[in-house]
Chain A
Amino acid sequence: MTEWEYHPAPDIDQGIVEQLQGFPRQPHMLFYAIRSLAALLLRGWMRIYHRLRIEGREHLPAEGSFVLVCNHTSHLDTLAMLCAMPLDRIHRTFPAAAADYFFSSVPRSAVSAILINALPFDRKLKGGESLRVCAELLDNPGNVLILFPEGTRTTTGELGRFRSGIGRLVVGSDVAVIPCHLEGGFRAWPKGKRIPRPRRLSLRIGEGRDYKSLDKTAESVKSVCTDLQAAVAELGSTAK
C-alpha cells in the first residue's frame, strides 16, 4: 500500500499576525469571503460617492499575469484600480503597498492583507528582495500586480519621476505592463487629509505593452521607466 501524501499549510506554525504580514499568503476561506464582500461594497461606494468612471477595461488581458502601473495621487488610486478588475480576479490582484506604512501595526496589516490583498513592499531596506517577490508572483499565470512606480503619493498633484524598480521588474520579460491614469484623486483625497472628499474620479486604462526584446541593462531599465512614465502622462493629458 502506498502511503498518503499530506500537504500541510506552509504557515501552519505561524501566528495570525505573521500570516497576515508574510508573503505569499496562504488562501483562507474566511478572508476570501470578507474580501469579496468588501470589494462589492467598495464598488458601490466609489460609484456613488466618487462617481468613478472607468475607461479602457477592454485593455485588461483576460488571462496571464500582468502589471498595472498608475500615477499615485492618493489611496483612492488602489481602490479605483481594484474596482476595474473583474470580481473573480480580486483575490489574485495584489497592490504593492509600502510595508513601513500598511503593515506597520496589526490592525493595519489586517486591513491591508484581508481587504486590499496588498503585497508588503519594503521600499527602504530590501527593495531588491521585494522585487524578487513581485517577479515570483508574476511567474505564476493569472496574478495581477498593481504598482505605483513613483514610490510615494504626490504632494503637488503632478506626476513624479518613475523609479527604476518597475523597469528592473519587467525588462526582458514577456509580462504585459498596462499604464493607467486616475484623474481627480488628488482633489478628492490629498496626502495628509483624513477623509476623502466627494470629488469625481476617472480611471483610464491604456494599451498594454511588454519589454521582452530589451536586454537587462541599466539603459534599457531607464528607457522602460521613461516609456511608461510618458504613457501614463499621455493618458492623463488626453483625459482633460
Chain B
Amino acid sequence: MSISAAIGNDIYLTYFAIVAGILAFAGLVLGTLSFLGKNVAPIWATYRSWLIMAPLVLGAIFLGREVFIAGVTLLALVGFKEFARATGLYNDWWLTGLVYLSIVTLGVASTMPDPRLDHPGWYGLFTALPAYVIAAIALVPIIRNRAKGQLQQIALAIVGFLYFGWMFSHLGFLANATHAYGYLLYLILAVEINDVAAFTFGKLFGRHKLRENISPNKTIEGSLGAILVSAVIPFLLWFSFPHFEPWHLVLTGLIVGIGGQVGDLVISYIKRDIGIKDMGTVIQGHGGILDRVDSMIFVAPIFFHVIRWIHGIR
C-alpha cells in the first residue's frame, strides 16, 4: 500500500466511487425526507459525521500502509482511553500509561519488518505481545507493593489492552496483506453497512427484542436483516478478493454479519454494567470512538485469522 499503488489500483478507485455514490444517495434520500416534512434532524447529525469520517478513512488508506496503521493505532489509543475513563481505570496512571505504551508497540510491530524475514509487518511480535504485556501488567501491583483492589485494576487493564488494543489493531496489521486494498475497504464498508442494515431493518420491521437486558432498541428482525444483507455483500464485492471461492464469501459475510452485531452488543453490556449511555462525545451523532468502532473490534481479528488460515495474508 502506497500513494502510487493506490492511484493505479482498480479496487481502491472502485471503492472510492462506491462510497461517494452511497453518501450522495443517502444525502438525496435524507434531503427528500426532510423536504416532505419528516423529522430527520438526528440522522442528519450522524450523516454529517459520515461526511467527515469517510474521507478520513479513504484518505488514510490512500496515503499508504504506515499512515493507515498509525491511524488505527491512534483510534485504538483513543478507544482505550474512553474505556479507561468510563471504568475509572484512568485514575491509575501507571496501568493506563503501560497500556498506552503497549498499544503503540502494537503499531510499531505492525509497521516494522520481521528481522528474520524481509517483508513488512512483524507478525511474531504482534501475536506474542499479549503475553509480554499481561506479564508487565501483572507485575505492576508487585512493584508498587499493593493488594487492595488490584485484581480489578489489572483485569481492566488486560481487557483494555487485549480487546480495545490488540483485537482492534488487527485491522492495521491487515494493511500488510498482498490484497490489503480489497480486504480493508471491503471490511470497513461491510461493517458499516451491517450496522446501518441492522438499524434500518429494526426500524422498519422490528417487533421482537433481541437482548432486552443489554440493548433494548435492538430487535431480532433487525439482526436477521443485517445478517442477510451482510451475506449478500461479499458476492457483490467479489472483485475485492478474486481468489476467494464461494464458500469463503459466505464465511466472510457471516463473520461480518454476526461478528459486527456481537461487537456492538459487547460495548452495550460494558456500558450498561458501568451505567453510562455513550463512551464519549468525540463524534457528533455517534458518541465516542468506541461507539463507532465497536463492531470492527470484533470483526477485524476474526476476519484476519480466518483469512490467514485459508489463504495466508501474503
Q: Is the CB of A9 within 8 A of B85?
A: yes
> Whole-angstrom distance between the alpha carbons of A14 and B279 in the complex?
11
In the bound complex, residues from chain A placing their C-beta under 8 Å from that of B126 are: none
Query: What is the chain A residue whose CB lies nearest that of B100?
Result: A29
Known A-B contacts A4-B152, A29-B93; A13 and B278 likewise in contact (beta carbons under 8 Å): yes
Query: A194 within 8 Å of B by Cβ?
Result: no
Query: B29 within 8 Å of A by Cβ?
Result: no
Q: Is the CB of B280 within 8 A of A12?
A: yes
Known A-B contacts A29-B96, A29-B97; A9 and B86 likewise in contact (beta carbons under 8 Å): yes
In the bound complex, residues from chain A placing their C-beta under 8 Å from that of B26 are: none
Query: B274 within 8 Å of A by Cβ?
Result: yes
Q: Is the CB of A6 within 8 A of B281?
A: no
Q: Is the CB of B85 within 8 A of A12?
A: yes
Q: Is the CB of B152 within 8 A of A8?
A: no
Q: Is the CB of B91 within 8 A of A15?
A: no
| Contact pattern, B 66-99, Cβ under 8 Å of A = 1, otherwise 0 | 0000000000000000000111101101001100
> Whole-angstrom distance between the alpha carbons of A120 and B193 in the complex?
45
> Whole-angstrom distance between the alpha carbons of A12 and B277 in the complex?
10
Query: A124 within 8 Å of B by Cβ?
Result: no
| Distance in Å: Cβ of A138 to nearest Cβ of chain B | 22
Query: A7 within 8 Å of B by Cβ?
Result: yes
Query: What is the chain A residue whose CB lies nearest that of B278?
Result: A13
Query: What is the chain A residue whose CB lies nearest that of B97?
Result: A29
In the bound complex, residues from chain A placing their C-beta under 8 Å from that of B93 are: 29
> Whole-angstrom distance between the alpha carbons of A27 and B93 in the complex?
10
Query: B276 within 8 Å of A by Cβ?
Result: yes
In the bound complex, residues from chain A placing their C-beta under 8 Å from that of B91 are: 7, 27
Given B88, B280, B281, which contacts A7 in the complex, CB threshold below 8 Å? Answer: B88
In the bound complex, residues from chain A placing their C-beta under 8 Å from that of B152 are: 4
Known A-B contacts A4-B152, A15-B281, A29-B97; A9 and B274 likewise in contact (beta carbons under 8 Å): no
In the bound complex, residues from chain A placing their C-beta under 8 Å from that of B96 are: 29
The A-contacting residues of B in range 92-127, CB under 8 angstroms, are: 93, 96-97, 100
Query: What is the chain B residue whose CB lies nearest that of A17?
Result: B281
The B-contacting residues of A in range 1-45, CB under 8 angstroms, are: 4-9, 12-16, 27, 29
Query: B8 within 8 Å of A by Cβ?
Result: no
| Distance in Å: Cβ of B243 to nearest Cβ of chain A | 43
| Distance in Å: Cβ of A57 to nearest Cβ of chain B | 28
| Distance in Å: Cβ of A227 to nearest Cβ of chain B | 40
| Distance in Å: Cβ of A18 to nearest Cβ of chain B | 9
In the bound complex, residues from chain B placing their C-beta under 8 Å from that of A13 are: 276-278, 281
Q: Is the CB of B85 within 8 A of A6?
A: no
> Whole-angstrom distance between the alpha carbons of A15 and B281 in the complex?
5
> Whole-angstrom distance between the alpha carbons of A116 and B91 in the complex?
22
> Whole-angstrom distance between the alpha carbons of A29 and B91 in the complex?
10
9 other A-B residue contacts (CB within 8 Å) besides A12-B86, A29-B93, A29-B100: A6-B273, A6-B274, A6-B275, A8-B276, A9-B88, A9-B90, A14-B281, A16-B281, A16-B282
14 A-B pairs with CB atoms under 8 Å apart are: A6-B86, A6-B274, A7-B87, A8-B274, A12-B86, A13-B276, A13-B278, A13-B281, A14-B281, A16-B281, A16-B282, A27-B91, A29-B97, A29-B100
